[in-house]
Amino acid sequence: MKAIFRKVKKVFHAIKIQNIKAIIRYIKNNGFKGLYTTCINKIRFGTVILDEYKTWMANNEPSKEELEKQRKYVSCQNLKFELIVMKTTESLQNSIQAQTYSNFVKTEIQDRSLLDIVTNSTSDYLVLIGEDIVLPEFTLYELVKSIEYRDSIMIYADNDTIIDGERKNPNFKPDFSKDTLTSENYLGNFLVIKTDFLKIHQNILQNLNKNIIYDLAFRVSEKTRKIEHIQKVLFHNITTNMEYDTEDEKKIIADYLKRCNLQYNEIIDGRYKGQYKVQYAIIGNSKVSIIIPNKDHIEDLEKAISSILEKSTYRNYEIVIVENNSENKSTFEYYEKIQKENPNKIRVANFKIDYFNYSALVNFGVEHAEGEYVILLNNDIEIINEDWIEQMLMYAQRKDVGICGAKLYFPDRSIQHAGVTIGTRGLAGHRFREIEEKDYHRDDYINIVQNVSAVTAACFMVRKDLYIELLGFDEKLAVAFNDVDFCLKVRTAKYLVVYNPYVEAYHYESKSRGQDQESEDKQKRFAKEYELFVKRWSKTIQKGDPYYNKNYRLDTDLPKINYNKIH
């Protein structure tokens, strides 16, 4: 008895005042026994660490009292749903009957065609529910609240998995992203579509593949941008062993590519089952200019250039070294040597300014580039894969894409860059920074091609004419934020930014800037660039990164759950 008392005393001694509200809500949902068990299991060095996801649920999902209020809610539009169920189970049926919003009918698809169901439906929205899922009580209520504020055509939501009776593994998703959807069905087995839209576009319902929900997500997205992502958990998977009909899903992707007139060679399997990579066809034989700013540091530069020359399977490229006030004789001797050895591949463009301005350097390099496409590359990059140019070119050549970026590693193969999140620490940050390969997970979005808000200019490709049209890098941002600023300009111009993990390189970060990075002058310059970037993009930062779920924290580069009250 004394031992138990000591444990309980230790728990309550460790509880901090700022956690009280979360703990009260946690008790309402999980009881005192749940709180006690969680705390005892999570005590570390005298600090209580609540299960982050359970704390998120306690803070962000309705209490029993709030659920009762929902049952009394009257929709101003009297919205009606038709639940299209692929397979009814007892648990799914119970979850449907428990819905706090009751204006719905349920239809089992069985041998009926979706076209027949749509034609005869009197509902406002169809809710397609796949196999092996159940719904929380508030699913339809949350749909109503979202629809009443927005005229959405297609809606999807976040989800989690029920394992041994417990909700775990929340899948907090990005907003709609066509390249992410092509890489995997990240939307899941739950989709809501406006009925009148399907009645108008009945051709969408013809010859659907077996995975109806995945197929419809593509088909609807081709005809509307009114796609809503509700960043709340509105369905639960009830199996951890998801079954993927990879051949059917590859056919769905192939049909989508054909409808969009996107030429490809093959669709290959990704790192995990149910993930895919489109090998787009390279159209023509466009020249690619690789722009490398440099000041001395020829050990790094030699490693970069050697990796390009030795590994690149795409042959129609040139390397433009932008020379910026190097001081060592050995640097110029190296320039002369490599130009003689590679007369049609390497040129040196001399740009003399008496201070470091990365934006000015790359702008100068692009002006001297002969290629239709340009790759901006730091001099401390070492290429890993042979088809790195092809992998960027197959995306950069698409009319809807502005930039294609790479997956970069530190020398120990931990992540240096896997896309950039807007809003991290109030600005922007490299996603998954310092994560080791052994810690990758299927749903962490490291290893699939996807759309992001920005990528690092340490290695990215852009069409030269687009770069010039958007006036290149802002030279007022001499060192910091220039690449993110340019990516946001690209997105503002309605082009996509693509992160491609199949472009791999080592990045020996920060060497290209030289020493004395903490000098007073550099601190003043950084402060000035910081102020300019924040002033220019404050609304974008405040709005949040569309490709990064608001249920994740922004004080870290890792996708850690923000368990505070958000909704």
Q: Taking residues 27-56, what's their average pLDDT?
A: 57
Strands 154-163 and 227-237: what pairing? parallel
Domains of the chain: 2-60 (no CATH), 65-259 (3.90.550.10), 288-543 (3.90.550.10)
Q: Collect all residues with Cβ–Cβ distance below 8 Å to 145 and sequence separation of at least 6.
A: none
Read out DSSP for 117-173?
A: HHHH---SEEEEE-TTEE--TTHHHHHHHHHHHS--SEEEEEEEEEETTEEEEEE--
- Residues 486-502: tens digit of each pLDDT: 999 999 999 999 999 99
Buried b (16+ CB within 10 A) or exposed e, 122-158: ebbbbbbbbebbbbbbbbbbbbbebbeeeebbbbbbb
Please name the amino acid found at residue 70. Answer: Q
DSSP letters for 101-116: ---EEEEE-TTS-HHH
Nearest-angstrom CA–CA distance, 316 and 295: 26
CB neighbours of 287 closer than 8 A, spacing ≥ 6?
316, 317, 318, 370, 371, 372, 373
pLDDT digits (tens, 9 = 90+) for 206-233: 999 999 999 999 999 999 999 999 999 9
Q: What is the DSSP string of 21-32?
A: HHHHHHHHHHHH
Environment class of 276 (CB within 10 Å of its CB; exposed 0-12, middle 13-18, buried 19+)? buried
CA–CA gap between residue 562 and residue 519 (Å, rounded): 36
Average of per-residue pLDDT across 289-310: 96
Distance CA 196, CA 122 (A): 9
One-letter identity of residue 219: R
* Exposure b/e, 7-36, CB count within 10 A at least 16 = b: eeeebeebeeeeeeebbebbeebbeeeebb
Q: pLDDT at residue 505 above 50?
A: yes
Adjacent-strand bridge partners of 405: 460, 499
For 349-388, the pLDDT digits (tens) are 999 887 789 999 999 999 999 999 999 999 999 999 999 9
Query: Is residue 117's pLDDT more than 60?
Result: yes
pLDDT exceeds cutoff 60 at 8: no
H helix or E strand, kind and range, residue 191: strand 190-194
Listed range (126-140, 321-335, 437-451, 546-560) with the worst mean pLDDT: 437-451
Q: What is the mean pLDDT of residues 80-107?
A: 96
Helices (H) and strands (E) in the chain, counts: 18, 22
How far apart CA 17 and CA 5 sit, in angstroms, is: 21
Angle at CA of residue 72, ends 67 and 74, nearest 5°: 120
Position 37 scores a pLDDT of 45
Range list of H helices, 260-381: 298-311, 329-341, 358-367
Q: What is the DSSP string of 62-103?
A: --HHHHHHHHT---TT---EEEEESS--HHHHHHHHT-S---
Band (pLDDT 50/70/90 cuts) for residue 20 is low
Token pair 């000098």 in the structure block, residue:
519
Task: Please give the pLDDT value at position 511.
Answer: 35
Alpha carbons 51 and 71: distance in angstroms, whole number: 29
Element (H, E) at 248: helix 246-259
Please name the residue that has the structure tokens 């706090």: 100
Residue with tokens 């439906």: 121
- Span 236-258, pLDDT tens digits: 999 877 788 999 999 999 999 99
**533 confidence band (pLDDT: 50, 70, 90):** very high
Strands 459-463 and 276-280, bridge-based pairing: unpaired
Residue 451 parent element (H or E): strand 450-452
* pLDDT tens column, 383-426: 999 999 999 999 999 999 999 999 999 999 999 999 999 999 99
pLDDT of residue 14: 45
pLDDT at 543 over 90: yes
Which two tokens mark 131? Answer: 């196999």
The CB density around residue 285, as the number of other CB atoms within 10 Å, is 9
Q: Are 289 and 362 in contact (CB under 8 A)?
A: no
Mean pLDDT of the chain, nearest integer? 90
Q: Once rounded to an integer, what is the mean pLDDT over residues 83-100?
A: 96
**Per-residue pLDDT averaged across 442-469, rounded?**
95
Could you give the percent of the chain with pLDDT greater than 70? 90
pTM of the model: 0.89
CB 138 within 8 A of CB 100: yes
User: Average pLDDT for residues 50-60, to the nearest whole number?
Assistant: 90
